[in-house]
Amino acid sequence: MLYDVFVSHASLDKANYVDKLVSEMKSLGIKVFYDDDSIAWGDNIKEKVDEGLNNCRIAILIISKHYIGIMDRV
């Protein structure tokens, strides 16, 4: 496995708490798939997300009103 944790979240939640959560996990030595670090400009987002999910031990979904709004559109 390349990652211990895959973090799924709404972009609107990054500044409020997701960035801090990811930073704390990294400080503990946890290998995190986080879009800001793992997806570069020009990458195929779906392919990168699939790669992250297929190469992680667990996924953490950060459910919020923003996340639910995103899921309504999928």
Residue-wise pLDDT tens digits, 33-74: 999 999 999 999 999 999 999 999 999 999 998 887 765 555
Domain range list for the chain: 3-73
pTM confidence score? 0.83
What is the rounded average pLDDT for all residues in the chain? 91
Residue-wise pLDDT tens digits, 10-29: 999 999 999 999 999 999 99
Residue 68 φ then ψ, to 5°: -60, -40
Please give the CATH number for the structural domain made up of 3-73: 3.40.50.10140
| CA dist., res. 72 & res. 28, Å (int) | 34
Q: Give the Cβ contact number of residue 33 at 10 Å.
A: 23
